[in-house]
Structure 1
Amino acid sequence: MLDPQRSQFPLNTAVPFSRPQQALRLGLVVPCYNEQEVLPQTLAKLLALLDRLQREGLVDDESGITFVDDGSRDATWSMIERAHLEDRRVHGIKLSCNRGHQNALLAGLMSTSGDVLISLDADLQDDLEAIPRMLQAHREGADVVLGVRSRRDTDTWFKRTTAQGYYALLRKLGVDIVPDHADFRLLSRRALEALRDFREVNLFLRGIIPLLGFKRAIVTYERQQRTAGESKYPFRRMLALAMEGVFSFSTVPLQWISMCGVVISLGALGFALWALGVRLFTDLGIPGWASTVIPISFLGGLQLMALGIIGGYLSRVYAETKQRPRFIVEQSL
């Protein structure tokens, strides 16, 4: 019998919370868009990972993989169907049309069962060896586990520099975001149910997840080279996602417009005093030129920039008020 006086935790004190060490039901969520070239390798590696995790007792036999076909135009969906027939651990969700990576990922998260879900890209540049460490962090109490790149050596100089600058800008704007984290993450069932209450049409999940407020942990990993196919995130899409992060989580740009108005007003006053001085005390000024061209050019550019920023917010308000569905599932396996 345990002696209370020698117990690790004294009587009438709270015992620290720990999750029961039982096998979890794991769901892997993989958005796909025209991934027929890389899908066979991805499927083989993910099934091998599930086999290993089951042997080690980390996940149970009901664990599986859910591929989300985001309106692919190639043989991606037919390959998912064939894989489902060959192995019942493989599931599929086919969206009625291309809705973008964030919506496809949300469709998988909202439609997949499991105690915990881990989202990752189909190209498997996210290191699978980080997944056991994610599960361990969850067992230690984290409801959200973020996969964060330890370095960006595989990126081009342009992509690395712009990414670092973008994360720095978001943090300056007051957005709670983890640098070098994309969409490789673990979410517990409790976190997933909380995520369901977020109704934004304009999705930026890496900004929404910190708002859940649950305990989170970070697992670092080295991003791998894509083994086949090509990236589905060209510069145009990366820029659109970056703008979504700014407009969806910060109103600071609107405050900047007001500050610019004050600064320009002071500058205009100074320019007026200068122009008056030149006119009264020198004969160097061309009558009417500087006082007309400079203010018109400067203020015209500023007004266009201000209208662009306001338009960015207004367009998102317009999209939110229509409340159109974020995705439509055509078929599920």
Structure 2
Amino acid sequence: MLSIEEKIAERNVMGQRADILIVDDGSTDRTWEIINQLHQAHSRVRGLRFSRNFGHQSALIAGMAEAIKTADMIVTIDADLQDDPDKISEMVDKYADGADIVYGVRNNRDTDSWFKRTTAQGYYKILKLLGVELVPNHADFRLMSKRAVETFLSYPERNMFIRGIIPKLGYKTDAVYYKRTPRMAGESKYPLKKMLAFAWDGITSLTIAPVRLILILGTAATLLAIAMMAYAVIMKMLGLTVHGWSSLMVSLWFIGGVQMISLGVIGEYIGKLMNEVKERPRYTIQAKLN
């Protein structure tokens, strides 16, 4: 049975050589040992090993930066085998027709739980309301031409949300649709906590809408305070003042909560700015198999 790269090479769409580059994001199991074995058995298998875990987005960027040195196009795909590698040939056809970016898009979410399916759809809707251009039901399974990858890699920011940056490149795009399958082995490295952090990173790296929302809340709170002041003056003039602390306490807690949330959101943006200014490397490569 022919492998995916052999099928593509046989059709002579992109030449006679297609390599597989595997990025080991600082795993603590036998992953790098297995990559070494594959490299010894198959010259087309190459590998990168991080010195520690730098995150999914950094692993993708490192793989792109290394692969594009010798490739005319690249395909990124997660190693959990849930995305359909047979669709790569169809992606190559779209590339041959002139598309610089071909998205792999799920045509259903049957393998997801109700909670994950509902929150994912809600997340896409929120980002759309915030003005973020995103491809729904697309993760990181995509084909990109050499010039698209080089343009993407010219973006210098460290806080990178790749799914939101790729649509901003402006090149011709297309899509292939596939059914995502359950994981063949292992457990997801994205529990709810990591998923929420990833979603928040996506929002804060692509839009300043949360800061604008703070301005709107502050304006609304100010207008409410002015209205309450006018109401208190009128009640005082009419002699209808009622002594009590409930409304006062509720107001204090509400204003205090808004202020703390506002400071937290602003602090998040300031923290990201601090990381950008430091210009630290996105990742450190410990070993490389070419």
Report how far residue 124 of structure 1 moved.
Answer: 1.2
Q: Which amino acid aligns with 1:312?
A: E
| Selected match of 2:59 from 95, 98, 104 | 104
Partner of residue 266 from structure 1, selected from 223, 227, 230? 223
Q: Does 1:255 align with 2:255?
A: no
Contact 2:134–2:163 under 8 Å retained in 1: yes
1:188-203 aligned within 5 A: 188-203=145-160
State which of 132, 136, 139 in structure 2 corresponds to 1:182.
139
Deviations 1:52-72 (A, max 9, x none): 223333343321100000000
User: 3-state SS of the aligned residue for 1:232?
Assistant: coil
Q: Which amino acid aligns with 1:52?
A: K
2:280 aligns with 324
Rg (Cα) greater in structure: 1
Structure 2 residue 98 is matched with structure 1 residue 144? no
**Match 2:89 to one of 105, 109, 132:** 132
Q: Distance in 2 between matches of 1:281 and 1:153?
A: 64
The residue that corresponds to 2:47 in the other structure is: 92
**Number of the residue aligned with 1:25:** none
Corresponding pairs, count: 287
Normalising by the residue count of structure 1, what TM-score does the alignment of the two structures yield? 0.82
**Aligned residue number for residue 170 of structure 1:** 127
- 8 Å Cα contact 2:103-2:141 kept in structure 1: yes
Report the equivalent of 1:207. 164
Equivalences for 1:252-331 in 2 at 5 Å? 252-281=209-238, 285-287=242-244, 289-290=245-246, 292-331=248-287
Distance 1:181 1:282 in 2: 63
Preserved contact between residue 24 and residue 50 of structure 2 (Cα < 8 Å): yes
RMSD between superposed Cα atoms in Å:
1.7
Question: What residue in structure 2 maps to residue 24 of structure 1?
Answer: none
What is the Cα deviation at residue 276 of structure 1?
A: 4.0
SS in structure 2 at match of 1:91: strand
Correspondent of 1:73 among 12, 22, 28 = 28
Q: Deviations over 1:86-126 (max 9, x none)?
A: 01010000111100000011100000131110000101111
Between stretches 77-86 and 121-130, larger displacement belongs to 121-130
Segments of structure 1 that go 5 or more residues without pairing to the other structure are 1-44
SS of structure 2 residue aligned to 1:269 = helix
Quick one: distance in 2 between partners of 1:314 and 1:229?
A: 37
Asked if 1:224 is matched to 2:181, the reply is yes
Task: Kindly provide the amino acid, as one letter, of the partner of residue 328 in structure 1.
Answer: T
